[in-house]
Structure 1
Amino acid sequence: MAQKSSGILQVVNGDGEFDDNSVSSFMRDNDVQDAGVDYQVVAITGPQSSGKSTLMNALFGTSFEEMDAMSGRHQTTRGIWLARSGKLPHPATLVMDLEGSDGRERGEDDNSFERQSALFALAVADVLLVNMWAKDVGREAGAGKPLLKTIFQVNLKLFTPAPNKRRTVLLFVFRDRTRTPLPRLVETWEADLAQMWAGITKPPQYEASSFTDFFEVMYASLPNFEEREEDFRAESVILRRRFTEEGKDTLLRAGEGKLPGHALALSMARVWEAIREQRDLNLPAHKVMVANIRCAELLEEQLRSLATDSAWTALAAAAAAGVVPEFGSRAAALLESCITGYDEEARYFEAGVRRAKRDELVARARGMVRGAFDAQRAHLRARLREHAAQEISACATREGGFAAAASRVKAEALEQHQAGLRQAEVPSSGWDAAAEVQAAEADVDALIADATQRKVAEVAAAAQKGLAAAITGPAIALLESLPDDLWARLLRLLASALRTATQSVEAGLSGYALGSKARAALDAQLQGFARKRLEAHVREAANTALPRMKERFTEVFSRDEAGLPRSWGPSANVPAAARDARLAAARVLAQLAVLRLDHPSPADGDAVERAVLALAADKAAALSPPEAGVGGIPEGGEAFDLVAAAEWPGVAEGAVLLTPPQCRALWRQFASDSAYSVQQAQATQDANRAATNRMPPAWAIAAMVVLGFNEFLALLYNPLYIVLGLAIFVFARTVYQELDVDAEMARGLLPGALALSGKVLPAVSSVAHRTADALREFVHDPQALAERVAAAGRSAVDKAAASAESATGAVARAARAAGVSPTRSADPSAPVARGGAEADGK
């Protein structure tokens, strides 16, 4: 255990044990605990029995045990001892006496302990006295150069000091000076120091550093104590003055890097523990460790003090309840008090750790305050929104219009909000209020936008109501009358209604400064609403296309151009009237087949219209020629077969009202329903014609007999005319069949004529040759020719029968296309069916 007597403490005993409790008590008892950095530690090292204790007692008034020369030379000081100087009360001076080196008592262990104690002294002391004999200057071992080299080398390797930051004061005291002047001794010793510095192994970062970058070397010399004691003590008094602030060559240095007094005991314990464990020491790391422990304690103390401070708790409660005037300055004062308390206590610790812990304290303290600050910002934003909402709601009736009034309200609200933020902002906190200002501005903008949107929605609803009223009535009337320029008039109606709606919107939104994009969107919304409303009426009309077709057919068929009812007399053209009525009905179907709001039907009709009108002509394959840009049919498009088509080519799906199959089904139904009216009209006309039909007069019959008697006799007396006529007929008939006129003309009038013109001469030549061959064969073998003629006659009869059957079928198909039932041809109304077929054929 460490020993304590007469104000002297054995810090480390001879066995290397450090007394933590005793050192802490010593610091408290000697007022070092509360001295801050206003203290100094002076240690001495040197060979055993070189008078170290005697020198320290003479300099500082301590009572270290001194060697008794009468009892022989032996080890006096064992371990490390500590005392406070009674002759240097200010600053508090702690004197440390180390066990001497090169002693015989420790034997082989001497080198280990002396190095440990030297490292300890160098780590703890502000001034290290190196006690040496003046006569040993210039010697190697006698001057303690091996020990000094070890100290220098370990200092660089293990302590890693920063050059020119904190230089340890090395005071070399030359004892028992001789006649050699002190400057000469200093010159010799500095050369040795330079040699020692150059000879040690230095870390790479210190290769270019000099000895004086780490140590401040001072010198002193004293006479022999035993021979000149009075002179020794007198010069000791002079040397003591150098440990005060008044001394000429004062050894006191600024306290940068020093630990405060309350951490000195902890620091000494940790240094000795590290030395005893023989680690790769790093004195700055040790200081960092001590600083970490103490600064962390100070940090927690300050945070606890802040958390329990009544001023802070009251401020936090008020901040949670509502807006607190001058919140920022009040919170900043509390934070400053907390940080100042930390700075006052931690200013002596290692700067890096101190600053790091200070930053942590600032961050954590601000974190405590941040919640209240955020609550203040939330209260300010809530107050802003409430005030702005009330003011904006009244802007519609203020002078200058809504937009100008809302702009003024926004500027005033934001100015008040920024003033509140400035009062709530904690100085030096780094909490940028720019984002909060932007968020507040966004809140006000959102309120203005909401009010504007409500007004826009109100005006848009009124405009849509007006559009519905302006479109519905006229559109229904147009769709009932179905004029030829239906779609052009519907477009004019749509444009007129939209103009009226736009004017009402402009009047309703006057003063709201609606942007171009928003206005365009509103116009698009109104246009879309109007188009949908108009399309709804058109689609409803398309769903009732059949009744409208029948109505139009009845109107055209039953009335003439003057609008008067038709009378089906013998001179009335029933087929023409039926054809015109069917065309009118087909136009109704064509107008309702597709939407033409984007492409109104041109004067000559579009491809869809012509394809539907072809149904009225009873064409089995309604072909529509390609047209460029008409009805949505692209240029270069192919004709389409209405009978087989499933959709309108080039027409968007959304624009289709009736598909081709629906149009075909409607037309078939219409044709079936309208055929009866045509039949009735034809029957009426036949009845009228029969009622007025008479035989020719008798004189006309007598005149025909008298006038034609000569021609009749000429035929009877000249049969050659009959034979010649028959031969010409047969020859022409053969040429007609040879040319296949029916097949060629089916290709078209012009193509057929061109084809026949090239075949006439070869056909006539071929028939003439065959006729000549037949005549020659008749002259040589009449019986064979008669048989061939008979066979040809039978074949001609068969072909005639087939032709008659084909003609009958054609008539039946024409009748069905005209809506006339083929079974009615057997009854008295058969002429009506024939009349309908003739009308269809025409």
Structure 2
Amino acid sequence: MDDTAFEKQSALFALAVSDIVLINMWCHDIGREQAANKPLLKTVFQVMMRLFSPRKTTLMFVIRDKTRTPLENLEPVLREDIQKIWDSVPKPEAHKETPLSEFFNVEVVALSSYEEKEEQFEEQVANLRQRFFHSIAPGGLAGDRRGVVPASGFSFSSQQIWKVIKENKDLDLPAHKVMVATVRCEEIANEKFAGFTANETWCVLEEAVRAGPVAGFGKKLNSILYAYLSEYDAEAAYFDEGVRSAKRKHLEEKLLQLVQPAYQSMLGHLRSETLEKFKEAFEKALNGGEEFSVAACNCTECYMALFDEGYADAVVELANWDSSKVRDKLCRDIDAHVASVRVAKLAELTSSYEAKLNDALSGPVEALLDGANKETWPSIRKLLQRETESAVPGLSSALSGFDMDEQTKEKMLKSLEDCARGVVEAKAREAAGRALILMKDRFSSLFSHDSDSMPRVWTGNEDIRAITKTARSASLKLLSVMAAIRLDDSVDDIENTLCSALMDTKNNAALTKRSITTFDPLASSTWEEVPPAKTLITPVQCKSLWRQFRAETEYSVTQAISAQEANKRGNNWLPPPWAIVALIILGFNEFMTLLRNPLYVGFIFVGFLIMKALWIQLDIAGDFRHGALPGLLSLSTKFVPTVINLLRKLAEEGQMPATNNPQRNPATASRSFQNGNTSIDTSSSASSGVTSSANGTQYSSPTKEE
């Protein structure tokens, strides 16, 4: 039983692994049951049915020790016996009507007896051998070779076939062929993938591309890839084509997946390098004076072409990778850089013209506003128009190189004009914030200086009321100039409103008797015919500023009046006429007494000289100029030291002649004393002159006292 099972298993194994099955028969056994191997043939045909999709196998019957019976007579007998065996074998439903020729090619070969005809035998064997040499050629002995397995996979294939046969399973040769091809092609593909991974050239290339772009990257990588794929094709050439192609495709995918990061890195370096070169070239072109739009267009075309050349050098032929995303990103980066440079250049250009306008307008406008008068705003308008007409064409010419649409260009030119107006308005608002200071300066300039700009000396002949009114009127006109921005040719009535409300005292007195909110023209937050946006100082603010201005300039007027009165008092030392008459009448007796006693006159004269000297030394007029109490306090501290100092000087001058000329006669001494008196008188005159000068300075400018 075991021998029969093994016989079937071995027969099935032979049919599965062989293209040609040789059956050795003795010539005399043809037609016999056992000796002709009929049971074996029956077994072969039975196991053939177990092949799920059997291939066509060649059955070669080799008849040895051929007798004189011709082969043409023996072969039909043998084929008839084979057909009978085939017909007697039970078949599956699908193969009941299938002829023998669908499964087998039957070949019959006869060999002479080796012992009797050795040479003929060897010749016949040599011919048969030649047929085996060319058995797989078209028309050869081999069958359809549907289940053929390459030699490299034969060992594995045979092991798997025997394993299936031993497990008594149906053997699907095509599936087995696919399985063997799958295993072997997978092994070959893995070997080639591992070899590629460890390839020194690839490792060096991968390391280099991490650091930067590599020249000839695509050519080098393609060479390595094709080399390993060619090795795969050579080793897997005889395996199932479908499996071989599928595994090759899988190997390609794995290899491309492995090299894709390097390829992407190469493209990234190429994009970055191209972008940097573009930036440098673009900046150089702009610095060289080339127009912006021309430089941008030329540089973009040049460096996009350079990127395309680099991409063509880095392309991997096996991959169908789309580089459009990288190229599009480079385009976007270039466009973004051009846009940013464009914005920066436009901003720089605009800022340059705005700075020029600011420099051209700030100083003159500020000076015009500081000296505000009726011609201030017309002059500012002329200045603004002149500078704007000078700057706008220059900016328009510069913008022509940026290839922008007319709407954007007009918008930028309008922005420059608005900037110029903004500079003027800013200076106007700044000046309006200093309106009170400017009004006080204008008042001080007109009140404290004459028409020749010389400091005014209040001698008593000036009309302080008229001067004050003139100075205040000029300050009020300055306030009216500062009240609103007048860059248009519109006419307003601000000056008349301010004059009627603040300078017309009669009208003001009448208004105080009425309702302020109804009749006061300054009880409002807007001016008539002046938009709020153009208003710098509202009517209410003007009224408040004027009130503050009057309060702060009132002191100067009061000081001028005081100085004028003091000057008058200083120039009038004589008492009133009635006092002089009273002195003459009441002092007649004393006058006669002096005439009768001349010695009294001498004492009075000496007392006068002493009092004059004390008056000058103590500067009594200067001390009492600031008030009675401060004058008394000052005199109390200086009186005793001044008297002592004066007596010491008199004593020293009295001793000096006696020491130098002790024999001098009284007449000489008398002359010396007279000279001393003269000296004292001279010093008194000098001191008086200083006092007079001091008094003149005191009353020359009340503003300086402040």
TM score, norm. by length of structure 2? 0.50
How far apart are the structure 2 equivalents of 1:279 and 1:542? 111
Answer with 530-539 or 356-365: which moved more.
530-539
Q: Confirm or deny: 8 A CA contact 1:186 1:219 kept in the other structure.
A: no
SS of equivalent residue, structure 1 residue 219: strand
Q: Confirm or deny: 8 A CA contact 2:210 2:262 kept in the other structure.
A: yes
In the alignment, is residue 588 of structure 1 matched against residue 531 of structure 2?
A: no
Kindly provide the amino acid, as one letter, of the partner of residue 526 in structure 2. V
How far apart are the structure 1 equivalents of 2:174 and 2:234? 22
Match of 1:348 among 214, 238, 254: 238
Match of 2:228 among 302, 315, 338: 338
Distance 1:501 1:151, change over 3 A: farther
- Structure 1 residue 402, shift from structure 2 partner: 2.0
How far apart are the structure 1 equivalents of 2:30 and 2:431? 130
Q: Confirm or deny: 8 A CA contact 2:8 2:44 kept in the other structure.
A: no
How far apart are the structure 1 equivalents of 2:503 and 2:271? 81
How far apart are the structure 1 equivalents of 2:195 and 2:334? 41
In the alignment, is residue 244 of structure 1 matched against residue 136 of structure 2?
A: no
How far apart are the structure 1 equivalents of 2:405 and 2:98? 76
Kindly provide the amino acid, as one letter, of the partner of residue 396 in structure 1. L
| Partner of residue 259, structure 1 | 149
- Structure 1 residue 272, shift from structure 2 partner: 1.0
| Partner of residue 420, structure 1 | 310
- Structure 1 residue 392, shift from structure 2 partner: 0.5
Q: Percent identity?
A: 25
| Partner of residue 169, structure 1 | 57
Q: Confirm or deny: 8 A CA contact 1:134 1:174 kept in the other structure.
A: no
- Structure 1 residue 416, shift from structure 2 partner: 2.6
| Partner of residue 154, structure 1 | 50
In the alignment, is residue 116 of structure 1 matched against residue 9 of structure 2?
A: yes
Q: Equivalences for 1:265-280 in 2 at 5 Å?
A: 265-279=155-169
How far apart are the structure 2 equivalents of 1:150 and 1:525? 103
Q: Deviations over 1:667-691 (max 9, x none)?
A: 99999x99xx9xxxxxxxxxxxxxx
How far apart are the structure 1 equivalents of 2:269 and 2:84? 75
SS of equivalent residue, structure 2 residue 520: helix
Q: Equivalences for 1:534-553 in 2 at 5 Å?
A: none
Distance 1:399 1:533, change over 3 A: closer
In the alignment, is residue 200 of structure 1 matched against residue 92 of structure 2?
A: yes
Q: Confirm or deny: 8 A CA contact 1:244 1:251 kept in the other structure.
A: no
Kindly provide the amino acid, as one letter, of the partner of residue 424 in structure 1. A
How far apart are the structure 1 equivalents of 2:23 and 2:388? 107
Number of residue pairs aligned between Structure 1 and Structure 2: 476
Q: Equivalences for 1:557-596 in 2 at 5 Å?
A: 559=499, 565=504, 567=506, 582=520, 585-586=523-524, 588=526
In the alignment, is residue 364 of structure 1 matched against residue 254 of structure 2?
A: yes
- Structure 1 residue 333, shift from structure 2 partner: 1.7
Kindly provide the amino acid, as one letter, of the partner of residue 154 in structure 1. R
| Partner of residue 714, structure 1 | none
Kindly provide the amino acid, as one letter, of the partner of residue 155 in structure 1. L
Gaps of 5+ in 2: 435-475, 485-492, 551-706
Distance 1:498 1:110, change over 3 A: farther
More helix per residue? 2
Kindly provide the amino acid, as one letter, of the partner of residue 243 in structure 1. F
SS of equivalent residue, structure 1 residue 243: helix
- Structure 1 residue 575, shift from structure 2 partner: 8.2
Distance 1:353 1:210, change over 3 A: same
Gaps of 5+ in 1: 1-105, 162-166, 598-656, 658-662, 678-842
Kindly provide the amino acid, as one letter, of the partner of residue 524 in structure 2. A
- Structure 1 residue 393, shift from structure 2 partner: 0.5
How far apart are the structure 1 equivalents of 2:387 and 2:87? 107
Kindly provide the amino acid, as one letter, of the partner of residue 133 in structure 2. T
| Partner of residue 566, structure 2 | none
| Partner of residue 185, structure 2 | 295
- Structure 1 residue 172, shift from structure 2 partner: 5.9
SS of equivalent residue, structure 1 residue 453: helix
Q: Confirm or deny: 8 A CA contact 2:384 2:421 kept in the other structure.
A: yes
How far apart are the structure 1 equivalents of 2:355 and 2:101? 94
Cα RMSD of the aligned pairs, angstroms, is 6.2
Match of 1:510 among 397, 400, 410: 400
Q: Confirm or deny: 8 A CA contact 1:542 1:592 kept in the other structure.
A: no
How far apart are the structure 2 equivalents of 1:281 and 1:585? 117
Match of 2:349 among 443, 452, 459: 459
How far apart are the structure 2 equivalents of 1:345 and 1:115? 34
Kindly provide the amino acid, as one letter, of the partner of residue 50 in structure 2. V
Kindly provide the amino acid, as one letter, of the partner of residue 244 in structure 1. F
Distance 1:593 1:430, change over 3 A: same
In the alignment, is residue 404 of structure 1 matched against residue 342 of structure 2?
A: no
Q: Deviations over 1:200-220 (max 9, x none)?
A: 244xxx99x977997463432
SS of equivalent residue, structure 2 residue 57: strand
Q: Confirm or deny: 8 A CA contact 1:255 1:348 kept in the other structure.
A: no
Q: Deviations over 1:1-26 (max 9, x none)?
A: xxxxxxxxxxxxxxxxxxxxxxxxxx
Q: Deviations over 1:514-536 (max 9, x none)?
A: 36797688679879989999999
How far apart are the structure 1 equivalents of 2:319 and 2:166? 46
TM score, norm. by length of structure 1? 0.43
How far apart are the structure 1 equivalents of 2:264 and 2:508? 100
- Structure 1 residue 262, shift from structure 2 partner: 3.1
- Structure 1 residue 458, shift from structure 2 partner: 1.1
SS of equivalent residue, structure 2 residue 249: helix
Q: Confirm or deny: 8 A CA contact 1:329 1:427 kept in the other structure.
A: no
How far apart are the structure 2 equivalents of 1:195 and 1:346? 42
